[in-house]
Amino acid sequence: MTIASPPLAATESGTDEEHLLTDFTPSSADLGWYVVNDTVMGGRSEGDFEKSQSDLYFSGSTNTNGGGFSSIRTKPLQLDLSDRVGIRLRVKGDGRRYTWRLTTDARWRGRQVSYWATFDTEKGAWSTVDIPFTDFEPQFRGYELEGLPLEPEKITGMGLMIYDNQDGPFELNLDSVHAYSAKAPLALQED
């Protein structure tokens, strides 16, 4: 697995089944998170994030009178996750549906394609969410595309988004992001 520029260096976790991408502790890689809200297209949603010593807190309010989304994304990176089968998130949610977003060098009509996979959360409960790479659908500005499968060896960015067609406040704590191997179970696990 390679990551482009310092300090983007993923570290192995305690097992061969998981590869730690970030856990937001002081020793973890700084992936350069930044906010992209629907205001870039005239929308009215608001969102932001705060990092603590142990997690990232993503919160705000969505407004479907416009784009209806809020997101946070990493700065450009290079990840070769070809030896893994998916992304594992440790989250504490609010009962709303979220989207994990990946980018590669894939293009559609010259524009960057993103790959989306949604997951549900339980209000106030920590859970581990496994998202197989096969669940990621190619998208361009919210429209699903055909014929562009995700290439895990060419990941250039990651992100978290809320785009569930609901108005109102949202909040999600993100504790860690791993890439996991085929040995790991592919399920939503609650603690």
Looking at the domain assignment, is residue 1 inside a domain? no
Q: Record the pTM.
A: 0.85
Looking at the domain assignment, is residue 81 inside a domain? yes
Which are the contacts of 143, defined by CB distance < 8 A and separation ≥ 6?
none
Looking at the domain assignment, is residue 170 inside a domain? yes
126-168 pLDDT tens trace: 999 999 999 999 998 777 888 899 999 999 999 999 999 999 9
Looking at the domain assignment, is residue 89 inside a domain? yes
- What stretches of 11-125 adopt beta strand conformation (E)? 11-12, 18-22, 34-37, 46-51, 56-62, 70-73, 86-92, 97-108, 111-120
pLDDT exceeds cutoff 60 at 11: no
Q: What is the mean pLDDT of residues 71-93?
A: 97
What domain range is 156 assigned to?
Answer: 11-190
Total number of domains in the chain: 1
CATH of the domain at 124: 2.60.120.430
Residue 118 token pair: 């949604």
Residue 70 token pair: 């809020």
Looking at the domain assignment, is residue 42 inside a domain? yes
Predicted pLDDT of residue 182: 78
Looking at the domain assignment, is residue 156 inside a domain? yes
